[in-house]
Amino acid sequence: MLYEEGDNLSDYAINDPIYDIFIFETLKILDEIEVMVLECEKKSNFNDYKNIITRNIHTIKGNAMTLDIDDIAKLSHACEDLVCNINRNKVENVMDIADIILEYIDYLRGRLDNLNDNDSSEEIYSRILIRIEGLMKNNNVYRRNSI
């Protein structure tokens, strides 16, 4: 397990239809983020989309927290941190940032395909987190406290 062993701590049973809403909405948001990130790659900057990307990742984080899906919540928190610091002009490696966000999108799509299994994706999860922390550290930016 990626995190503590234990039952689902959310207020909803794992077969509750609200999970379908979460999956549907998250996939829709991920599609939107992907289009924006690819556009940013083309333009070599995040100027037009950084605020929308931040807001969208923030939404995914909040919703994942509600359902107690820790890995999605924590990875979203880290990605939000990364994009927030583009806002403050502290992290500027556009291609690296875009690549990390695209990897985050792929990871989430995989997880949403099978929410009951987070064991098989542990390695990818750790790799993305390490990449984010490495990139921020290289730019002398430090992450906010974890959620």
Q: Is residue 115 a contact point for other proteins (CB under 8 A)?
A: no
Rounded to an integer, what distance in angstroms lies between the CA atom of residue 96 and that of residue 111? 23
Stretch that binds other proteins, among 15-23, 42-50, 97-105, 106-114 (CB under 8 A): 15-23
Using the minimum distance from each CB to other proteins, give the nearer residue, 74 or 131: 74
Between 16 and 99, name the residue whose CB sits nearer to other proteins. Answer: 16
How large is the angle between the packed helices 94-113 and 122-138, nearest 10 degrees? 160
Note whether 8 binds other proteins by CB under 8 A. no
Binding to other proteins in span 78-107, by CB under 8 A? none
Q: Sign of dihedral through CA atoms 30, 129, 95, 48? A: positive
CA-to-CA dists, residue 42 to 36, 78, 82, 95, angstroms: 10, 24, 19, 9
Q: Which one of residues 66, 96, 112, 141 is an interface residue with other proteins (CB under 8 A)? A: 66
